[in-house]
Amino acid sequence: MRDSKGREINYLRLSVTDRCNIRCIYCMPESGVPLVSHNDILSVDETIRLSGIIVKAADIRKVRITGGEPLVRKGVLDIVRGISSGHPGELVLTTNGLLLRGMAKQLDAAGIERVNISLDSLRNDRIRLISRRDIRLEDIEDAVAAAFDAGLDPVKVNCVVMRDINDDEIEDFIKWSRETGVTVRFIEHMPSRLSGDTFVSRDEIIKKASAGGEVVRQKDDGTAGIYSVGDSGQTFGIIAPFSDPMCSFCSRIRLSALGTLHSCLAQEEGVSLKELLRNDAGDDVISDIVRGAVMNKPDSHGGCVHAKMWKIGG
């Protein structure tokens, strides 16, 4: 459906958990997130029912399962099956990849079409530092291989660029993406728990990528700008919520694991659909509330994006 600014809203990001098996320095507190009781999180059936209502009410064409880490959610395959059976559009998933090797084929069979995998460095010492866990590059390369093997491609790899942490790896990532067959997308770091001047702008990323040849913007893919580098035909993406906000084309809404609908990443409050559901509201009532929230989607994030990505669904 169109919102009051005429934007086509057709993309639901569905967070199925606020928990995670790692602790990225820009996302989660080292000690983990404050524990929310299981009863406060949408059940599998509630998740399927609410997402079905949202999909119909707003004519959603794409659903992304996210989190927290969606693959730690008990029942995630049931959620995927439940959504895919009633949803004619795209169904995709974002993961840190650690559990993907054992689940890729089941995810494919359940209805996931492709996956995005997050990886912020190609160096084991830095992967450890950023994730605060003993993860190695080969773990993520195994996940990438499992995704290809299960047909969950094209595989995109998302890398949050942070000054003095991994911003010297742009060229290496582009080379690595050529070797592995993934598309790498660099993400501008949004304000987070990480202190200091960690922000690296789109222009700086382009400058660093230019070491491999002339960088030319080719097209847009959702919120990412797609660039070619040199004559090799190699491409990469940049998601630049600050340098290139794309709010005027934003097509997204989000449902958190707590059952709250957020029509913008900057919208901390949102509308509790869980309360309506648990108070026996019918599909029609919930649909009207969903359409109202979509209609009133904010014009832009105004530079004030939600830092708790694990909570709202990154």
Say how far apart CA 19 and CA 16 lie, in whole Å.
9
DSSP state of 34: P
Say how far apart CA 132 and CA 272 lie, in whole Å.
33
Q: Which does 189 bind (CB under 5 to 8 A by kind): ligand SAM, ligand SF4, none?
A: ligand SAM
Candidates 55-63, 100-108, 182-190, 216-224; binding stretch for ligand SAM (CB under 6 A): 182-190
Say how far apart CA 227 and CA 215 lie, in whole Å.
6
Count of positions on this chain that bind ligand SAM (CB under 6 A) = 19
Instruction: Return the residues of window 225-264 that contact ligand SAM according to CB under 6 A.
Output: none
Single residue of 146, 160, 229, 250 touching ligand SAM by CB under 6 A: 160
Say how far apart CA 147 and CA 141 lie, in whole Å.
10
Q: Residue 22 in contact with residue 69, Cβ under 8 Å? A: yes
Sheet containing 235-239: give its strands across. Answer: 215-221, 224-229, 235-239, 183-188, 156-161, 114-118, 90-95, 62-66, 11-15, 252-255, 260-262, 271-272
The residue whose two tokens read 């929230």 is 293
Q: Which does 187 bind (CB under 5 to 8 A by kind): ligand SAM, ligand SF4, none?
A: ligand SAM
Give min distance, CB of 32 to ligand SF4, in A: 10
Compose the 101-140 pattern: x for residues touching ligand SAM by CB under 6 A, - for all others.
-----------------x----------------------
Single residue of 27, 98, 144, 255 touching ligand SAM by CB under 6 A: 27
Token pair of 226, please?
């797609």
Residue 310 in contact with ligand SF4, rule: CB under 6 A: yes
Q: Which does 264 bind (CB under 5 to 8 A by kind): ligand SAM, ligand SF4, none?
A: none
Q: Where are the alpha helices (DSSP H) in 59-136?
A: 76-86, 100-110, 124-131
Residue 223 in contact with ligand SAM, rule: CB under 6 A: no
Q: Residue 83 in contact with residue 113, Cβ under 8 Å? A: no
Single residue of 9, 14, 16, 27 touching ligand SF4 by CB under 6 A: 27
Closer to ligand SAM at the Cβ: 148 or 199? 199
Candidates 20-28, 170-178, 200-208, 233-241; binding stretch for ligand SF4 (CB under 6 A): 20-28
Residue 20 in contact with ligand SAM, rule: CB under 6 A: yes
Say how far apart CA 184 and CA 187 lie, in whole Å.
10
Nearest partner of 295 among 314, 271, 268, 313, judged by Cα: 271
Residue 72 in contact with ligand SF4, rule: CB under 6 A: no
Say how far apart CA 216 and CA 67 lie, in whole Å.
33
Q: Which does 13 bind (CB under 5 to 8 A by kind): ligand SAM, ligand SF4, none?
A: none
Single residue of 14, 24, 76, 182 touching ligand SF4 by CB under 6 A: 24
Nearest partner of 265 among 217, 314, 215, 310, judged by Cα: 314
Question: Which residues contribute to the site for ligand SAM (CB under 6 A)?
Answer: 20, 26-27, 66-67, 69, 94-96, 118, 158, 160, 187, 189-190, 192, 309-310, 314
Question: Which residues contribute to the site for ligand SF4 (CB under 6 A)?
Answer: 20, 22-24, 27-28, 67-69, 96, 118, 309-310
